[in-house]
Chain A
Amino acid sequence: MELLHNIALGFQDVLTPTLLFYCAVGTTVGTAIGVLPGIGPLVAISVLFPLTFHVPPDAAIIMLAGIYFGAEYGGSTASILLNLPGTAANAVTCLDGYPMARQGRAGVALFIKTISSFFGGCVALIVLIVLTPLIVKVALNFGSPEYFALMVLGLLAAATLSVASPAKGIAMVILGVLLGLVGTDVNSGQYRYVFGIPDLADGLDLVAVAMGLFGVAEITGRLVSRDFTESPERVRWRSLIAGREDMRRAFFPMIRGSIAGILSGILPGAGPSLGAFLAYGAEKRVSKTPERFGNGAIEGIAAPEAANNASVQAAFIPTLSLGIPGDAVMALILGALIVHGIQPGPSMIPQHPELFWSLVASFWVANVFLMFLNLPLIGIWVRLLSIPYSLLYPAVMVFICVGVYSLRLSVVDVASVLVFGAVGYFMNMCRLPTAPLLLGFILGAPLEEHLRRALIISHGELSVFVTRPIAASILGFCVLLMLGTVVGSLASSARRARLRRSAENAQ
C-alpha cells in the first residue's frame, strides 16, 4: 500500500547513524535546558534554534525535535520536583506531580510521566497514519464559533480543577481571564490594562506568571511554614518504578488523554495545552474518587502528559498542511522548515508524502530516544530532592530570575514573577486555588478573540452559536456539564447538612 510504503520510507530515512546522533544531541541538550527551572521548551528552542542553521535540513529537524521534546520532558521534571512549570501544559502536571514528590513518590511520578508521554506519542502516530486526510477537513470546519465553544469548555474544566468550592474556582477563572486580556486587543488594536508599559503590550508573560504563581508561591509557603523536610526518597529501583497498581490506574487515563491530546492538536487554534487541561478535567470527572486529584493521583499525571505529547505529534498536520502553527513552538519549527527550503502547504502532504512522513518519523524517534535516555536518569533527578532545601531554594530563585529574564530581556517579566509570587502566596493563605487562575489566563484572550470575531463575521447575529452544529453541540455539552455540577453540589451540600443535623440530633 502506498501509504505504508511512504511511512516505511520516512522511517528508513530517519534511522541512520548521523541522524540518530543529531537526535541524541538534541534530546540531551533539550533535557538539560528544560530541567533548569524557569526555562522550558520555548526558551530552549528559541535559543538553540540558530544552532540548527548550519546543519543539513533533516538533521536540523530531528535536532529541533530532540530539543523540543527534551525541553518539554525537562520542564515537566521541574514541575514534578519543584512545582515549576515550564509551559502551560506543565502547570497541569504540577497539580498532582508535585504532591506526589512531596509524598516521596517522585520516582514513580517521573516514571509514569515518561511512559504516558511516550504512549501518547505512539497513539498519535497511529491515528495520524489512519486519519490524515480526514484531519485537515476537520480542522477547516472549526471556525471562531467552534473555538469559542471549545474555550468555554476549557474554562469549565478549569473551574472544576481544584478541590475548593465552585465559587472560588469560578472567581479564579474569571480573574485569570481578565489577566489574559492585558495587552493589545486583537479586534481593535487598543491597549488594555497596559498602563503605558511597552513590555505589557503583548500581555503578561505566561512563564513569568506560572513561575510566580506556582513556583515562588510554593517556595515562600514552605519557608513560612518552616517546612524543610526533604522527601524521604529511598533511591532504590523499586521506588523508581511504578508498581502494578499504579500502572493499572494509569492505563485508561493514558488512552483518554491521548485522544484529548490528538483532538486539541489537530485544531490549530486550540493549542496543545488545552488538551492537557481537558484531559485532566475529564479524568477528574470520570473518576470514582475525584477528591484524590490535587493530592497525588496518578491519573492526574498520566492523562495530561499523554495528551501533551499526543497533541504535539498531531499538531503536525495543521502546521504542515495549512502552514498554521498551533503555538509558538510549532511556529519555530515551521520557521526552521522554511529556512531549510521546505515549504509547508496544502500540496505538501499529497505531493511530498515521504517528506511529511520522515518529519513525523523524526519526531517519533526523538520521543523514543528521550524515553531511553531519561529512564535511567530518574534516579539522578530524584536525588536532586535530597539537597538541603535551605541551599536548594536560593539556587532555584536565581534560576527563576535569570530564566524568566532571558525570555525577552524584560525587567517587567521579572517583576511579574514577583507580583504573582506575592499573589500566589496570598491566594494559598486564603485557600484560593491557583491552577484555575493560570488556566483562565491562558484561555482568556483566545476566548474573547473568537467570541468577537464570530460576531463580526456573522454581522452581529447571535444565533451563529446555535446554528452551526459543532459549536452548538459543544456549547450544549457545556450547559449540561454546568447543570450537572450545580445539581451535584446542591445535592452534596444537602447531604452534608442532613448528616450534620443527624449528628447533632444524636448527641
Chain B
Amino acid sequence: MFTRRMMLAASLVIASFPAMAQSDWPDRTVTIIVPFSPGGATDITARIVADALTNEFGETFVVENRTGAAGQIGVEAAVRAEPDGYTLLFATQGTMTVNPHIYDLKYDTRTDLMPISQTFSVDHVLVVNPSLGVNSLQEFIDLAKSKPGELTYGSAGVGSFLQLTTEMLELDAGIELTHVPYKGSAAAEVDLLSGDIDMVMDSVPTALGQIESGNLVALAVTAKQRNPKLSDVPTMSEAGVPGYGISSWGGLMAPKGTNPAIIEKVSEAVQKAYQQDDIKARFDERGLGAAASSPEDFKALLDSDYETLGKVIEAAGISVN
C-alpha cells in the first residue's frame, strides 16, 4: 500500500536524480484523453481544465476524444500510454467505479491508473412531472409503495448514475419502480415531460431549465448537501431517506508508473486554478461543482464510490454479459 510516507520518500529519492525530466516537465504538448464525444458535458469540462493547465504551465494541454464502449476505449488507451507524464486521462465516476463491476475490463482502474485530482462534481435531482400529483419525496415514496412496480423511471442506460441512484433509493426506501433505459438523459427527460414516464434522477445542469420553468417538479437532490441552484430542494437525507448522499464526478488520472512528482505538480495546478473566480464562474453557470483535490483525497473518493456503487450494482442485480 502506498502510504504518504512512502510517497514522500520516493519523491525525495527521485528528486535526487537531476537527470529526471520531472523538473523540466512539461516541455511539450500534454494530451488529456477524454473518453467521451466532443460537445458533451464531460468534454466541455475537460476543455476548461485543459485551458487552465495550459495557462498555468505555459505548455499546451490538448484534449483528445477517444470514444466508445461507455468510455472503455478511452480509458484503455490511457492505461496503455507511456507513463511519461505527457498523457493524462479525464476520468469519470462511471468509467472508474461503475464499469469495473459491470463489464469485463482488461485493466484495473484501481491499480493501472494513478489519481491526480478531482475536477468537477455534479449533483442529481429527483424530478417528476407535475401531473403525477406528488409534491414531496415522502409522497412519492408512498405512491410507489401503493403501486409496486407500476411507476416508471428513466435513465441514461444500464449502469448509468441515473439508474444507480434510483436503485439506491429503491433499496433504502423499500419501493419498487420499473426501469426504462434511454440513450442519454436528455431523451429520458422528453418522455418525462410528455408524461410517458414518471420520474428521472437527472443531473442538475440538465434538469435545471425545466425545473425553473415549472415543467418538472424537483423533490430531492442526491448529494449530501443542498445544491446552490436549488436551495429550497431538500437532500434525500433530509427528505426521508437518511444516510443517502452521493454525487457524480470527474477527475484527472495518469497511467501507472507516472512520476509522482508530476502528479503532485498537476494536482496543485488544478487546485490553484480552481480558486480563480473566472474558472469557478464557468462551472457555476453550468450547475457543476468546481471541486479539486489532492491525489490522496481523490483516491479516497474513488475507493469509497467503488465500494458503494459496487454494492448497489450487486444488490440490484445489474449485469451485462
Residues in chain A within 8 A of chain B (CB atoms):
46, 49-50, 53, 139-144, 184, 186-191, 198-199, 201-202, 268-269, 322-325, 328, 331-336, 338-339, 341, 343-348, 408-410, 449, 453, 456-457, 459
User: Which listed residue, B39, B68, B215, touches A332 by the CB 8 Å rule?
Assistant: B39
In the complex, A386 Cα to B243 Cα: how many Å? 73
In the complex, A139 Cα to B39 Cα: how many Å? 23
Asked whether B186 is an interface residue with its Cβ less than 8 Å from the other chain, the reply is yes
Whether the Cβ atoms of A190 and B38 lie closer than 8 Å is no
Whether the Cβ atoms of A346 and B213 lie closer than 8 Å is yes
- 10 CB contacts below 8 A, A to B, read A143-B196, A184-B69, A186-B181, A189-B158, A189-B320, A198-B76, A322-B186, A339-B44, A409-B66, A457-B197
Q: B72: which A residues are within 8 A, CB to CB?
A: 198, 201
Whether the Cβ atoms of A322 and B190 lie closer than 8 Å is yes
Whether the Cβ atoms of A345 and B209 lie closer than 8 Å is yes
B72 (CB) vs chain A CBs: closest residue: A198
Residues 40 to 85 of chain B near chain A (Cβ within 8 Å): 40, 43-44, 47, 63, 65-70, 72-73, 76
Whether the Cβ atoms of B190 and A190 lie closer than 8 Å is no
Whether the Cβ atoms of B181 and A347 lie closer than 8 Å is no
Whether the Cβ atoms of A456 and B182 lie closer than 8 Å is no
Whether the Cβ atoms of B183 and A343 lie closer than 8 Å is no
CB A415 to nearest CB in B, in angstroms, measures 15
Given contacts A188-B320, A408-B66, A409-B66, 17 further A-B contacts (CB under 8 A): A50-B47, A142-B194, A144-B196, A186-B183, A189-B159, A191-B320, A198-B68, A198-B76, A268-B187, A322-B189, A338-B39, A338-B286, A339-B47, A345-B210, A346-B209, A456-B152, A459-B150
Asked whether B131 is an interface residue with its Cβ less than 8 Å from the other chain, the reply is no
In the complex, A141 Cα to B190 Cα: how many Å? 10
Asked whether B193 is an interface residue with its Cβ less than 8 Å from the other chain, the reply is yes
Asked whether B237 is an interface residue with its Cβ less than 8 Å from the other chain, the reply is no
Decide yes or no: A408 and B67 within 8 Å by CB, A186-B181, A187-B181 being known contacts: yes
A339 (CB) vs chain B CBs: closest residue: B44
A319 (CB) vs chain B CBs: closest residue: B186
In the complex, A449 Cα to B191 Cα: how many Å? 14
Residues 99 to 118 of chain B near chain A (Cβ within 8 Å): 102
How many chain B residues sit at the interface, stated as a range, is 35 or more
User: Which listed residue, B66, B159, B180, B210, touches A457 by the CB 8 Å rule?
Assistant: B180
Asked whether B321 is an interface residue with its Cβ less than 8 Å from the other chain, the reply is yes
B319 (CB) vs chain A CBs: closest residue: A189
Whether the Cβ atoms of B38 and A335 lie closer than 8 Å is yes
CB B313 to nearest CB in A, in angstroms, measures 11
User: Which listed residue, B63, B186, B318, touches A325 by the CB 8 Å rule?
Assistant: B186
Q: A338: which B residues are within 8 A, CB to CB?
A: 39, 44, 286
Whether the Cβ atoms of A199 and B181 lie closer than 8 Å is no
Whether the Cβ atoms of A459 and B68 lie closer than 8 Å is no
A192 (CB) vs chain B CBs: closest residue: B321
In the complex, A345 Cα to B189 Cα: how many Å? 12
User: Which listed residue, B196, B285, B321, touches A191 by the CB 8 Å rule?
Assistant: B321
Decide yes or no: A341 and B39 within 8 Å by CB, A144-B196, A186-B183 being known contacts: no
Q: A332: which B residues are within 8 A, CB to CB?
A: 38-39
Whether the Cβ atoms of A143 and B193 lie closer than 8 Å is no
Whether the Cβ atoms of B213 and A331 lie closer than 8 Å is no
CB A158 to nearest CB in B, in angstroms, measures 22
Whether the Cβ atoms of A186 and B210 lie closer than 8 Å is no
CB B7 to nearest CB in A, in angstroms, measures 33
Whether the Cβ atoms of B102 and A189 lie closer than 8 Å is yes
User: Which listed residue, B68, B187, B197, B206, touches A201 by the CB 8 Å rule?
Assistant: B68
In the complex, A141 Cα to B194 Cα: how many Å? 7
A345 (CB) vs chain B CBs: closest residue: B209
Q: B320: which A residues are within 8 A, CB to CB?
A: 188-191
Decide yes or no: A190 and B321 within 8 Å by CB, A53-B47, A199-B68 being known contacts: yes
CB A227 to nearest CB in B, in angstroms, measures 38
When A and B form their complex, which 10 residue pairs have the shortest distance between CB atoms, in order from nearest?
A335-B39, A345-B209, A189-B158, A201-B69, A189-B320, A332-B39, A140-B194, A143-B196, A198-B69, A324-B186
Whether the Cβ atoms of A335 and B157 lie closer than 8 Å is no
Decide yes or no: A143 and B178 within 8 Å by CB, A189-B320, A408-B68 being known contacts: no
In the complex, A449 Cα to B65 Cα: how many Å? 27
In the complex, A46 Cα to B38 Cα: how many Å? 7
Asked whether B212 is an interface residue with its Cβ less than 8 Å from the other chain, the reply is yes
User: Which listed residue, B43, B66, B180, touches A456 by the CB 8 Å rule?
Assistant: B180
A409 (CB) vs chain B CBs: closest residue: B66
CB B146 to nearest CB in A, in angstroms, measures 16
Whether the Cβ atoms of A186 and B182 lie closer than 8 Å is yes
Q: A408: which B residues are within 8 A, CB to CB?
A: 66-68, 73
CB A313 to nearest CB in B, in angstroms, measures 20
In the complex, A457 Cα to B150 Cα: how many Å? 9
Whether the Cβ atoms of A199 and B73 lie closer than 8 Å is yes
Decide yes or no: A343 and B209 within 8 Å by CB, A269-B187, A324-B187 being known contacts: yes
Whether the Cβ atoms of A347 and B194 lie closer than 8 Å is no
Whether the Cβ atoms of A331 and B190 lie closer than 8 Å is no
Whether the Cβ atoms of A457 and B196 lie closer than 8 Å is yes
Asked whether B37 is an interface residue with its Cβ less than 8 Å from the other chain, the reply is yes
Whether the Cβ atoms of A453 and B69 lie closer than 8 Å is no
Whether the Cβ atoms of A331 and B210 lie closer than 8 Å is no
CB B39 to nearest CB in A, in angstroms, measures 2
In the complex, A184 Cα to B72 Cα: how many Å? 13
Whether the Cβ atoms of B157 and A346 lie closer than 8 Å is no
Whether the Cβ atoms of B209 and A331 lie closer than 8 Å is no
CB B192 to nearest CB in A, in angstroms, measures 10
In the complex, A52 Cα to B32 Cα: how many Å? 19
Q: A198: which B residues are within 8 A, CB to CB?
A: 68-69, 72-73, 76
Q: B189: which A residues are within 8 A, CB to CB?
A: 322-324
User: Which listed residue, A49, A202, A456, touches B178 by the CB 8 Å rule?
Assistant: A456
CB B40 to nearest CB in A, in angstroms, measures 6
Whether the Cβ atoms of B69 and A268 lie closer than 8 Å is no
CB A202 to nearest CB in B, in angstroms, measures 5
User: Which listed residue, B39, B194, B208, B318, touches A336 by the CB 8 Å rule?
Assistant: B39
Q: B210: which A residues are within 8 A, CB to CB?
A: 345-346
- Residue-wise, chain B 210-225 has the 8 Å CB interface mask toward A (1 for contact) of 1011010000000000
Q: A144: which B residues are within 8 A, CB to CB?
A: 191, 196
Q: B215: which A residues are within 8 A, CB to CB?
A: 346
- Residue-wise, chain B 263-294 has the 8 Å CB interface mask toward A (1 for contact) of 00000000000000000000001100000000
CB A108 to nearest CB in B, in angstroms, measures 37
CB B216 to nearest CB in A, in angstroms, measures 10
Q: B285: which A residues are within 8 A, CB to CB?
A: 341
In the complex, A46 Cα to B66 Cα: how many Å? 12
Whether the Cβ atoms of A449 and B183 lie closer than 8 Å is yes
User: Which listed residue, B157, B191, B208, B213, touches A189 by the CB 8 Å rule?
Assistant: B157
In the complex, A324 Cα to B180 Cα: how many Å? 18
B212 (CB) vs chain A CBs: closest residue: A347
Whether the Cβ atoms of A331 and B73 lie closer than 8 Å is no
Whether the Cβ atoms of B181 and A459 lie closer than 8 Å is no
Q: B180: which A residues are within 8 A, CB to CB?
A: 453, 456-457
Whether the Cβ atoms of A459 and B178 lie closer than 8 Å is yes
Decide yes or no: A323 and B186 within 8 Å by CB, A143-B194, A332-B39, A334-B39 being known contacts: yes
In the complex, A172 Cα to B97 Cα: how many Å? 42
Q: A186: which B residues are within 8 A, CB to CB?
A: 157-158, 181-183
